[in-house]
Amino acid sequence: MDHFDWVIISKGGRSTVSGYLNGSCVEVTHENAEENFMKSTLSAWRKIAVCNLLINRTGLSQVRRVILVLSGKGGVGKSTITTELALAFLHAGKKVGILDVDLCGPSIPRMLRVCRPDVHQCDSGWVPVYADAQQNLALMSIGFLLEHPDEAVVWRGPKKTALIGQFVSDVAWGELDILLVDTPPGTSDEHLAVLENLRKHRVDGAVLVTTPQAVSTGDVRREITFCKKLGVRILGLIENMSGFVCPHCSECSNIFSKGGGEELAKLTGSEFLGSVPLDPQLTQSLEEGTDFLQAFPESATFSSINTIANTLLSRIQDD
């Protein structure tokens, strides 16, 4: 026997993963599906597509720009760059959102010190969580749905795809100037699900994050190939951890190799957006959930992040 049983219940109002599974999602169960896995998966994709049409949300209708943040491997500081870009855009007077689709390693809630809020629902869908009192920085992450921050997400592809579909179409973002999508490392089901669900809404492009070492830039080459195959515009490359800023004298030393990101940008015909050093003050700000750009406006790291953000703004606004 090989079948999928579907349960669709909208307006569940639950804020935990168990509540999500039982109340407001498309749940997939299957028995003895190993021999017909591909056939069953195709069937699941068709049903997910139908469910998306039935839901018919317009969560992104008031979002002006969508930028994906990608990395070829983990540990390069992709979520750090996402967070700091969002804060830089915020300080530039923009209304910003972060959609965290790194389902197995959500970091955004911790970096912005937004822990265990209740996720509510309105007529337009899920209400995003706001990181500021003025409600100009909106967030959505699976981290808000977990009963415990150390809980592991052990899901097969169809469940991940269903949740990403709801994140894209079922969150009432309202008016946003920019939505940053923080993706998991590599090129996986999650990336395909994000792009599939964003197909009806224009994606302005992707920012690729790397470190200077060859092992990281090699993985970014594959990420560039992925973007080209799927028709995603590459807005540019950012080299993170480019040197170490001494906490005593503020001198920057190259503890790793240098210039790998810029060289890769030249070789692939991509724009090099800039480099961000490994700065203990930035690390401390992320650990404490404070705004680095507000706390250290005179630092060289602030200047680097601000320059990158302004370059990105000019690129997407010129379109």
Instruction: Determine whether the annotation assigns residue 246 to a binding site.
Output: yes
The single-letter code of the amino acid at 247 is P
Q: Residue 39 burial (CB < 10 Å; 0-12/13-18/19+)?
A: exposed
Q: Residue 233 burial (CB < 10 Å; 0-12/13-18/19+)?
A: middle
Distances (CA, A) of 284 to 72, 85, 109, 280, 287: 25, 17, 15, 6, 5
CB 181 within 8 A of CB 69: yes
Instruction: Determine whether the annotation assigns residue 231 to a binding site.
Output: no
Strands (E), 166-311: 176-182, 205-210, 234-245, 252-253, 272-278
Instruction: Determine whether the annotation assigns residue 77 to a binding site.
Output: yes
Instruction: Determine whether the annotation assigns residue 258 to a binding site.
Output: no
Instruction: Determine whether the annotation assigns residue 25 to a binding site.
Output: no
Instruction: Determine whether the annotation assigns residue 78 to a binding site.
Output: yes
Instruction: Determine whether the annotation assigns residue 252 to a binding site.
Output: no
Instruction: Determine whether the annotation assigns residue 19 to a binding site.
Output: no
Instruction: Determine whether the annotation assigns residue 75 to a binding site.
Output: yes
Instruction: Determine whether the annotation assigns residue 79 to a binding site.
Output: yes
Show Cβ contacts of residue 241 under 8 Å, excluding neighbours closer than 6 positions.
Answer: 76, 77, 211, 212, 256, 276, 277, 278
| Alpha carbons within 13 A on the beta-carbon side of 248 | 0
The DSSP 8-state label assigned to residue 79 in this structure reads H
* Binding positions: 72-79, 246, 249
* Binding positions for [4Fe-4S] cluster: 246, 249
* Binding positions for ATP: 72-79
